[in-house]
Every structure is written in C-alpha cells, then in structure tokens.
C-alpha cells in the first residue's frame, strides 16, 4: 500500500464584501453634521455664483455613478483600513486650521479628503479604487482658489479679446483693440471677467468627463476628450465675443442684456456639440484604421 502525502488544506477564498449600511449611515451622517457650516456656504455659493451653477449637479452625478458600482463593491472583500481614520483626523485638523484662517478652498477640500478616509476605513484600498472616479469628480464642486481664478480669468480675458478681434476683422468689420476693450464703429465692447470664458471652461470640462464616462470605456479616449475641452471652450468664447461684435453692428441692444445671455447659452451648447462631434470623428477614424 502506497501512502501519499496529504495535500495542505486549501485556504478559503475571501468572501465577497457585504455592504453594511449602518456604519455607512453613521459615518455619512457624522461627516455631514461636522462639515455642515462649510457645506452650507458652499451650496450658497453655487446658488449665487454664476460660475459655479453646475455645482448642484456634481454630487448628484457622483452619487449616481457610485450607486451604479454597488454590485462591484459587494463583490469586493471588505477590509477595514485604520489609515482611513488617520486621514479623517488629518482632514478635520485641516478644516479647523482653514476655518480659523478663513481659507475656503482648503476647508472645502478637507471634506473630500475626509470622504476618502471614510471609504478607506470602511472598505479598504479596493473600495477606494472602485470609487476613485466619483470621489475625484467631487473636486469639481469646489470653486478654484481665488488667486488661481484671478490669473486664469485675466489670461482668458485677453485671449478672448484677441480671438474676438481676429474673427471680427475676418467679417470685414473695422475693429481696434486696446487690451480687453474692442473698439467697433457702433460701440466699444469691454471683455469683462464674466466674458472670460472661465465659466464655460469649467462647466465643459465637467460635462466632458461625464459624457466620456457614459459614452466610451476607453481610458485614452476619455483623456483626449478632457484635453480637447480646453481649446474648444477657448474658441467658443472667442466666437461669442465675435458674434457679440457682429450683433452690435446690427443693433446695439443685441449685444447686452437677455440677448447677450441667450447668446452665451447657445455658444455653450454648440461647444458641447463640437465635443460630441469630435468624439464621433475620432471613433470613426480609429475604426476605419482598424479595418484597413
């Protein structure tokens, strides 16, 4: 009789993680309660700042994407990571320091950091990886720092003025520009901060991420569309300035008030459409190249 060595017992596979909603509700409730003053001021800015009007949609869409991934989370073994609590404590200290120093951006950023910490503590690194996109998407609900905003706005103002001047001259309309002031036969157009294009740039960047996420699974394509939003937004804003100049030559009232606001919405929709067309064109070109 030949004896064979016994095989070592197979290690049991890690059971799929089951989401326990009780700790999620506790941590979520405590997080909102602790950050209530910061979140209140943030929502108030969304309601009053035209540049941040899209902020209301950011947590809704991020939450929807996270909810879509719930089945994936349930299939991941849940491993509590105490470093998550460390991250929450660090975020709390950052929030206190930022509040004392009246630094809004840092205080608001600490909320997102604390949220990362909660996810890390409850589910481990695998959960953070699975929810990385919706978590990073929340950064779009925070207005950029004022110093950076001022620099971007000034640069975009000048760029919009230059593009507008060029396009108006192509239309055969006499034009002369001094800084961000465009002199036309009918009137002078002042490309102010509201016309810098920072609003359309931020909104279009956010929408490009959402569009790319739902319409294309290729990571490289998502990066291409994200990068493409920058020149598209800049060109669209330059075109808006040029159209304003053209309309002012027809009727000066068309360059101000409700007409000017409506024109901005139309140009933004055209820019969003250009992003979709660019995506379709790249997809068509890539597919045709593969078949060749």
pLDDT in tens, 96-127: 998 888 888 999 999 999 999 999 988 888 88
Phi-psi region of 19 (alpha: psi -120 to 50; beta: other; left: phi over 0): beta
d(CA 285, CA 282): 5
Residue extents of the structural domains in the chain:
21-142, 147-291
Q: What is the pLDDT of residues 25-78, one digit of tens each?
A: 787 888 888 899 999 999 999 998 887 888 899 999 999 999 988 888 888 887
pLDDT, residue 136, reads 92
10 vs 188, more confident: 188
Q: Taking a C-beta distance cutoff of 8 angstroms, is the pair 254, 231 a contact?
A: no
Helical segments of the chain, H only: 21-34, 36-48, 57-68, 70-74, 83-100, 104-123, 125-130, 132-137, 146-170, 198-215, 219-250, 257-291
Q: What is the pLDDT of residues 148-206, one digit of tens each?
A: 877 887 778 788 888 888 888 888 788 777 777 777 777 777 676 666 667 778 888 89
pTM for the predicted model, two decimal places: 0.79
Looking at the predicted structure, is the pLDDT value of residue 22 above 60? yes
Q: What is the pLDDT of residues 218-265, one digit of tens each?
A: 888 889 998 999 888 888 888 888 887 777 777 766 666 666 677 777
């Amino acid at each position: 009789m030949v004896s064979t060595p016994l095989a070592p017992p197979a290690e049991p596979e890690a059971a799929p993680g089951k989401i326990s909603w009780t700790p999620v509700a506790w941590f979520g409730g405590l997080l909102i309660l602790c950050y209530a003053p910061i979140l209140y001021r943030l929502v108030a800015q969304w309601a009053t700042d035209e540049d941040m009007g899209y902020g209301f949609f950011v947590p809704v869409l991020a939450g929807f994407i996270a909810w879509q991934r719930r089945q994936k989370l349930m299939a991941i073994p849940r491993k509590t990571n105490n470093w998550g609590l460390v991250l929450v404590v660090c975020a709390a200290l950052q929030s206190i320091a930022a509040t004392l120093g009246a630094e809004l951006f840092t205080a608001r950023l600490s909320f997102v950091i604390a949220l990362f910490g909660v996810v890390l503590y409850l589910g481990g690194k695998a959960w953070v990886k699975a929810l990385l996109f919706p978590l990073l998407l929340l950064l779009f609900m925070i207005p950029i720092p004022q110093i950076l905003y001022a620099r971007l706005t000034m640069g975009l103002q000048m760029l919009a003025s230059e593009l507008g001047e060029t396009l108006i001259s192509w239309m055969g309309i006499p034009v002369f520009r001094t800084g961000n002031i465009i002199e036309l036969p009918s009137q002078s157009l002042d490309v102010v901060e509201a016309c810098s294009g920072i609003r359309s740039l931020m909104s279009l960047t956010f929408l490009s991420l959402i569009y790319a996420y739902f319409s294309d699974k290729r990571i490289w394509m998502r990066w291409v569309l994200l990068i493409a939003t920058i020149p598209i937004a800049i060109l669209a804003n330059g075109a808006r300035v040029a159209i304003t100049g053209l309309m002012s030559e027809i009727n000066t009232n068309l360059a101000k008030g409700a007409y000017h606001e409506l024109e901005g919405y139309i140009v933004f929709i055209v820019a969003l459409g250009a992003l979709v067309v660019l995506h379709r064109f790249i997809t068509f070109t890539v597919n045709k190249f593969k078949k060749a």
